[in-house]
Structure 1
Amino acid sequence: MFKKTEKTERDIDQDVTLLADTLDEVLRDSSSKTQEELGELHRKAKSVLRHARARFNDSSNLTQHAQDVAAHANSYVRSNPWQGVGIGAAVGIVIGVLLARR
């Protein structure tokens, strides 16, 4: 159920990292480049930015998916309250054990 969301999140993280790296390269190297190299760097930055914007515009699908999952979880807990309590307790125990190991 969450695999699509996790993949989209990883893709967005990669896009942001690539965008930041490209911007860093532009800022770092802009004073030592020739006009032709600056033009190429400018085209690369525009391409990365255009791609990242397209991906971020698709993130509305990610928001809708998260809302659908939350609504499904809410209806499940309302129809099975004791199972919801049991799942919550199990998650709490696991988190407690993990925090205690630190």
Structure 2
Amino acid sequence: MNSVDQHKADLMRELTQILKDAEELIKNSEQQAGDGFQSAKDKLQSSLKNARKEIDRIEDVVVKKTKDAAHAADDYVHDNPWKTAGIAAGVGLLIGLLIARSK
């Protein structure tokens, strides 16, 4: 996973945790009184519901794109086995040279 993907994953985890914390805060605030509080609470619940739907949608898109990329890579390997073997051998040689050089 590259740096951008890692940051996206971290952001998604943080957003999910924020939603959970906000939902827990709403649950624990049931004893609060007042029309203004109830109105703010209803608005927050609506915003949380929309945010949860958007996070779920984004997660679905990311999963789909990841699966598509994996299928594309699999198809490429099956369609070009010798190229793939050559690339893998080249990368292995490069890594071996770097390891040998560092000793």
Residue of structure 2 in register with 1:93 after alignment: none
RMSD: 3.0
| 2:28 equivalent to 1:28 | yes
> Judging changes above 3 Å, is the alpha-carbon distance between structure 1 residues 53 and 7 closer, same or farther for their aligned structure 2 residues?
farther
Q: Secondary structure at the match of 1:58?
A: helix
Q: One-letter code of the match for 2:33?
A: T
Distance between the aligned counterparts of 2:13 and 2:85, measured in 1? Answer: 36
Q: For residues 44-67 of structure 1, what are the alpha-carbon distances to aligned partners after superposition, in whole Å with 9 as ceiling and x for unaligned?
A: 121022022123113232122111
Structure 2 spans left out of the alignment, 5+ residues: 96-103
Distance between the aligned counterparts of 2:51 and 2:14, measured in 1? Answer: 11
Structure 1 spans left out of the alignment, 5+ residues: 91-102
Structure 1 window deviating more from structure 2 (2-11 vs 17-26): it is 2-11
Between Structure 1 and Structure 2, whose CA radius of gyration is higher? Answer: 2
Distance between the aligned counterparts of 2:71 and 2:64, measured in 1? Answer: 11
- Bigger relative contact order, structure 1 or 2, given CA contacts below 8 A and separation 6+? 1
| 2:55 equivalent to 1:55 | yes
Distance between the aligned counterparts of 2:26 and 2:55, measured in 1? Answer: 22
**Sequence identity (%):** 10
Question: TM (normalized to structure 1)?
Answer: 0.60
Residue of structure 1 in register with 2:40 after alignment: 40
Question: TM (normalized to structure 2)?
Answer: 0.60
Query: CA shift at 1:2, angstroms?
Result: 4.4
Q: For residues 61-89 of structure 1, what are the alpha-carbon distances to aligned partners after superposition, in whole Å with 9 as ceiling and x for unaligned?
A: 212211123124424554224728x87xx
